[in-house]
A and B are shown apart, each in its own frame.
Chain A
Amino acid sequence: MKVILRNQGKEVELAGRRRVRELLSELGVLPETVLVIRGRELLTVDEVVREDDVVELRPVISGGRR
């Protein structure tokens, strides 16, 4: 599967299928900080991402103040 890490300008290729929960944990991403997008749909953590899927991890954190 191809995982697009939006805002980091990075793409990661992973072999095999796995649940979103496992995918996020493998990449060290907290579920609260991203939307997991496949095509035009949002995925919950129990959904399975298949080998030939492309998913985007879109960060939801914004704003800046010092």
Chain B
Amino acid sequence: MKCRKCGGRAVLELRRHNTAFCADDFLAFFRRQTLETIRRWKMFTREEPVLVAVSGGKDSLALWDVLVEAGYRTAGLYIDLGIFDYSRESRARCEAFAAERGARLVVVRVAAEVGAGIPQVRDVTRRPACSACGLSKRYIMNRAALEGGFSAVATGHNLDDEAATLFGSTLRWDASALARQTPVLEASHPKLVRRVKPLFRLSERETAAYAFLRGIDYIVEECPFARGATSLTHKEVLNRLEDASPGAKASFFLNYLDRARHLFQASEAVDLRECARCGQTTTGEVCAFCRLADQVRRAAGPTGPARAEPTDPPALRGLISDLRAASEIHAP
């Protein structure tokens, strides 16, 4: 197979674009797609400091790599979930990635914020690990970006992630989830930071190929709690469709954004207020994250490794100066 650009040997076929690229032309294509998405969707400017949430996986490290190369002002945020070897290895990869590029990485431990790592939280709450994990990550990302003075939080969500989420929401006709699904979630409250997904037009296979061709040492192993997750079943179904009809995933998600999302947005007016405990946004009196931390604290008993005081806002305190320093960095 030949590269459509230069006629050299192709390393990746993109069936949905009916094309194939050599390594150099694919990397250029990937960068162009990402940077055009950032510009077209007004995700952030080159002057704004951006906090990139990195997991050690291919998507977030590929995104950070593109942004660092393009000269954006970024710092990485690694959220240590406390998931045994998986967390240790993914953290080590993020640290090595940052060190190689002279980029700033801030590490926040879920255990320091909630009182326990995700495995213990799962046992205490008796809910799937993914649910406490998602809640904790969203909370910590926003809080870290807000307190560090960042303009946006960027995540590595790719086309497959977005299509699978849309598929799941559609199966349930979950109108509020459908309304919230967007590549740019604007800050609708002073305590919220804009959340953006610059890779949403690129498939999972494309981000994996980018990471491989760039020599990024990412964690290939899957989170042990993800096995059997519904979202993986949805991805499998969508990949079968994609195989039979290239472009199905992109058409499903991108046409949703163009043609259908506005219909759901109209029904979604949420009244946000500040959590009485930590000051972050919530629709109730106390936010879901503080309630989760309370639950962990109660289960641990008086001797447990809980956050110091129930009335304390979650830590991050020791990290605020780190975060502020990170947001003040300039492009390398």
- Whether A65 lies near B222 (C-beta < 8 A) is no
What number of B residues sit within 8 Å (CB to CB) of A?
45
Interface string of B176-203 (1 = CB under 8 A from A): 0000000000000000000000000001
- How many angstroms between the C-alpha atoms of A58 and B235 in the bound complex? 16
Nearest-CB residue, chain A, relative to B226: A64
- How many angstroms between the C-alpha atoms of A62 and B161 in the bound complex? 9
Q: From A6, A43, A60, A64, give the contact of B231 (CB < 8 A).
A: A64
B229 at the interface (CB under 8 A from A): yes
- Whether B243 lies near A42 (C-beta < 8 A) is no
- Whether A63 lies near B220 (C-beta < 8 A) is no
What number of A residues sit within 8 Å (CB to CB) of B?
25
B24 at the interface (CB under 8 A from A): no
- How many angstroms between the C-alpha atoms of A34 and B242 in the bound complex? 13
A24 to chain B, nearest CB (A): 10
Residues of chain A within 8 A (CB-CB) of B131 are: 66
Question: Given A32-B205, A44-B13, are A63 and B231 neighbors across the interface (CB < 8 Å)?
Answer: yes
Most chain A CB atoms below 10 A, which of B12, B203, B205: B205
- Whether B221 lies near A7 (C-beta < 8 A) is yes
A64 to chain B, nearest CB (A): 3
Residues of chain B within 8 A (CB-CB) of A42 are: 11-12, 23, 209, 212-213
Residues of chain A within 8 A (CB-CB) of B208 are: 35, 58, 60
B231 to chain A, nearest CB (A): 4
Nearest-CB residue, chain B, relative to A31: B243
- Whether A44 lies near B229 (C-beta < 8 A) is no
Residues of chain A within 8 A (CB-CB) of B203 are: 32
List 15 interface pairs A-B (beta carbons < 8 Å), by A numbering. Answer: A30-B243, A32-B15, A32-B203, A34-B205, A35-B208, A35-B209, A35-B212, A41-B11, A42-B213, A45-B1, A58-B220, A61-B232, A63-B231, A64-B232, A66-B130
Interface residues of A (CB under 8 A from B): 6-7, 30-35, 37, 41-47, 58-66
